[in-house]
Amino acid sequence: MSGTAWTDDDLAILDNVPAAIAQGRDLKQWWERIRRTPGALGRFPVSRQLHEPDVNYGFLTDAILRQGILPVAGVTQDQLYDFPKVPAGMAGRDPQWIRGQVREFMLRHFMRLTYTAVPQRLPQGPEEQPPAVLKPFSRCGAGGTKSFGWGYEQWYYQRADTGEIGKFPDSERYRIIDLREIGTKYSWVVFKVDIFQFDFTLPPVPTGPKLMIPMPQPVYTVCTPDFVIDAENPRPGVLGEYGYGYSVVPNPNYKTLFAAGPSKITNTIETLHLRVLDTGEVRAHMDFITPQPPQILEFKPVEWSFDLADLFTFGAASKIFAPVKKVLEGFEPQIDPVYTTVRLLNLLTLGVASDDYCINKEQLFKLLMVLHFTDAYHMYNMSASHFRMVPDWTDEASLPAWAHGTFGGTTDFHFGG
């Protein structure tokens, strides 16, 4: 490893990279075999789309892997991304030219342009700047920094020539590499993905109040050469196909209430690509596969109590009472509040909650897939708007600053990752 200062989080994530690569390849190979036999997937509809021939479906099935049988949930979507706005035969509608644009955009710029922030009002002058102590209460320029879409950062890599493992400097975090370098310059690259607006809503009873669980959290993923797509004329009617994918790398040091969150799951892959048809139409595709979660939420009263005590004792509580904490954790009940509620409702209603109101574990899995589909749908539409803002993506010298992953040539505000 290079001489970069490594944190405990860095080392914890890197320790899981080899396993994530192996699991990702195994799951990807299974998916490439099984996707051609739709009857084996147990498909279910995800969302009604009015734009033909846009399609989407989720699935719940067992993946036959080298490590054994793994129950998985997944979602696939295919949607219109862009279409030339000129009649066939007119100058400007050259499918070959469009292919070059899509290839350069997807492999070099796409990951920088998959999110944006809500516009916010800026202070009009020094008189609107409150004293530092009162700044948290000021509404001058208030409007929030809420983001939409997916935000990518590059964190770690392994050199293909030397095998050296390194960490991207902060100045390069948002300047995502050309994905064609994975396999030539890099053996693998770890990206961090922030998926915004990912809220899981649970109705405890068929009608009444709902419990909304915000789930935005960092997702670390590893991309290897077998997940990079750079193909010309892959099949009849398709001029080019370009994209990437990755396997999720768990971060055991990240604490979250959500047990099925990406900081903990393994055996999870995602692929995203654009394909250019011979008509000039550009279509976007996504596949996501993850294990069916054994838990939704984690109930850890002992850990939470000591975390709270540590806040008031500057970490001393866990150190002084470590033996007591260990004993108490041994008696801590392993309860998932969500699954327990589902089972209780079905027990009290003799199964009516499941049969008539779809309150069951299978429906929870389906809801998670709908959430992921919706997020990817909006992300694709957002990036498509960025794609249309630049006349020529192959003209590097003429690209605006934000297309390089920064705004105005600085790194303090990122327009699109």
pLDDT at 409 (0 to 100):
37
Lowest mean pLDDT, pick from 46-50, 99-103, 239-243: 46-50
Alpha-carbon torsion, ordered 153, 158, 164, 168, to 10 deg: -10
| pLDDT recorded at residue 37 | 75
pLDDT digits (tens, 9 = 90+) for 27-83: 999 999 888 776 667 788 887 766 667 888 999 999 999 889 999 999 999 999 998
* Band of residue 269 on the pLDDT scale cut at 50, 70, 90: very high
Provide the pLDDT for residue 274: 97
DSSP for residue 257: S
Range in 7-11, 142-146, 167-171 with the lowest mean pLDDT: 142-146
Mean pLDDT of 14-25: 96
- What is the pLDDT, as a whole number, of residue 212? 54
Q: For the residues 354-359, what does the mean pLDDT come to? A: 62
Quote the pLDDT of residue 11.
Answer: 92
pLDDT band at residue 226 under the 50/70/90 scheme? very high
Q: For residue 272, what pLDDT is reported?
A: 97
Strand partners, 64: 69
Residue 194's pLDDT band (boundaries 50, 70, 90)?
Answer: confident
pLDDT for 404: 78
Calpha distance 242→360 (Å, rounded): 38
CB-neighbour burial class of residue 308 (10 A; exposed 0-12, middle 13-18, buried 19+): exposed
Task: Pull the structure tokens for residue 237.
Answer: 């009617």
Portion of the chain with pLDDT greater than 90, in percent: 38
Helices then strands, counting H and E runs in the chain, come out as: 9, 14
- How many C-beta atoms surround the C-beta of residue 332 within 10 A? 12
Cis peptide before 209 (omega within 30 of 0): no
What is the reported pLDDT for 84? 83
Q: What is the pLDDT of residue 308?
A: 59
Return the closest-CA partner of residue 140 out of 122, 113, 152. 122
Mean pLDDT is lowest, of 223-232, 242-251, 352-361, for 352-361
417 pLDDT more than 50: no
